[in-house]
Amino acid sequence: MKSVDQINHDLLRPVVHTSGRFWLVFVILGSVVLAAVGAFAYQFWEGIGVWGINRPVFWAFAITNFVFWIGISHAGTLISAILRLANATWRRPVTRCAEVITVFALMIGGMFPIIHLGRPWLFFWLVPYPSERQIWPQFRSPLAWDFFAIGTYLTGSIIFLLLPIIPDWALVRDKTSGWRHGLYRVVSLGWRGTPRQWHRLETAMHIMAVAIIPVAVSVHTIVSWDFAMAPVPMWHSTIFGPYFVAGAIFSGIAGLILAMAFLRKLLHLEEYLLPIHFDNLGKLLLMMSLLWFYFVFAERLTTWYGNEPAEMAVFWVTQRGSFAPLFWTMVFCNFLIPFPLLAISRIRRTITGVVIASSTVVVGMWLERFLIIVPSLSHKYLPYTYGHYRPTWVEITILVGTFAAIGLLYMLFAKFVPIISIWELKAGGHQKPAARAAEAVSARTSPMGAKELELRPES
């Protein structure tokens, strides 16, 4: 069992020490992000014309990215909240990674409704404020709902993330000196670890955990209604709400696994992020993969059975027409590859196996968003208006930039906040996974215990 000091040392090291590799990765990711910003600036100046969209495919990469990143955001907070409420002890090293992913993915995803506008400098008209002309947003529009949904979810997730960080920030404050000490003293908001503070923190976290779940479910439902509320073949379907929520959780878990795997390698957290964590998340991923398959199968069977001409045009073009290669790739990536990897427990218990499965799922889920949007838009009701779509470098750069952005944000976060919740880990008593069973039940974070640890001087 690791000592408290060992834990502190391991988990605070990324915050306190900056290696040369950090700077290298920072520069690389930073350049990619800058390139994406530059691409957006080009589009801002010239117009959406620099993208590949056209008539009738008016939405493509940008909205795909939007839905994808909002989807990625779903696992984090949701998993963290559910696991907290269910008291699953294995969650401890995982929660902060998860909550962070949610916040950053939301921030990235939430930018796209602005990025994809024809006149992005007027995005603020989506904000309900009492304008001089008394014009409010048109509240019947699902895009207006998006604003509220994502805003609420982002606010809630940030609160949910920041609350449990406070004790750790206090720890850093106590363990450091100089400018770091000053900075962390400010952000730890005077945390002293008193029982009353612990009680408040616990209560607040409990409330948030309960509240965030319906918010998360509603957010992606509302995002799905951007499509379902429009009379477009294969968009206007009641399955979209649940389908999108399930898909979001699916892609979110995969994203979380990948993030954890990266952190484990880069920050040398092999002793903390253990195969059992990946195993458990892998089980969740397997469940979501099955759920995803169920939804897709149900939707397609119903469509095919109904044989409505406009829908069938979209159906066939994805199944065996020009979009077939992407469609079948998606099926492979989301089900045919992950399923065996995750169902066979021997493979699932290896981190590599789970990571491979997650990688294909991330790709597959991006493709899924794309395949919901573009084939339908390019085959609407009047065949005379069918069209094609091909992305340009601007859209591709922005897409790649979002991945670099989340990496960069994560990196910076890990530089300023311990990526594994130290106090929770200690409170759970860091042990080998095999021996944790009995302790898990009574391992509710003991305020006294944490305080006790904290007061011991650093040796």
Tokens of 216: 């998360």
Determine the interface stretch with other proteins among 99-107, 203-211, 251-259, 317-325 (rule: CB under 8 A): 317-325
CA dihedral 206, 98, 285, 348 (to 10 degrees): -120
Quote the CA–CA distance of 21 and 59 in Å, as a whole number. 39
By the 8 A CB rule, do 380 and 310 touch?
yes
Contacts (CB under 8 A) with other proteins, residues 355-414: 377-388
Nearer to other proteins, 229 or 290 (CB): 229
Among 312, 343, 396, 440, binds other proteins (CB under 8 A): 312
CB atoms within 10 A of CB 165: 22
Single out the residue of 351, 375, 378, 167 nearest to residue 270, CA to CA: 351
Q: 231: burial class by Cβ within 10 Å (0-12, 13-18, 19+)? A: exposed
The yes or no reply on residue 303 touching other proteins (CB under 8 A) is no
Among 122, 207, 210, 301, binds other proteins (CB under 8 A): 122
Interface characters, 26-65, with other proteins (x: CB under 8 A): --------------------xxxx--xxxxx-xx------
Nearer to other proteins, 54 or 329 (CB): 54
Nearer to other proteins, 173 or 380 (CB): 380
Single out the residue of 107, 108, 86, 76 nearest to residue 248, CA to CA: 76
Helix (H, G, I), strand (E, B) or coil at 389: coil
The yes or no reply on residue 436 touching other proteins (CB under 8 A) is no
Nearer to other proteins, 110 or 428 (CB): 110
Q: Which residue has the tokens 């399930």?
A: 246
Among 16, 27, 230, 298, binds other proteins (CB under 8 A): 230
Contacts (CB under 8 A) with other proteins, residues 138-167: 138, 140-144, 147
Q: How far is the CB of 442 from other proteins (least distance, A)?
A: 51
The yes or no reply on residue 318 touching other proteins (CB under 8 A) is no
Among 20, 130, 190, 309, binds other proteins (CB under 8 A): 309
Nearer to other proteins, 124 or 179 (CB): 124
Measured between its terminal Cα atoms, the distance across the chain in Å is 18
By the 8 A CB rule, do 172 and 180 touch?
yes
H-assigned helices in 122-239: 142-175, 178-187, 195-228
Nearer to other proteins, 160 or 370 (CB): 370
Among 3, 24, 28, 119, binds other proteins (CB under 8 A): 119
Nearer to other proteins, 90 or 316 (CB): 316
Quote the CA–CA distance of 398 and 40 in Å, as a whole number. 7
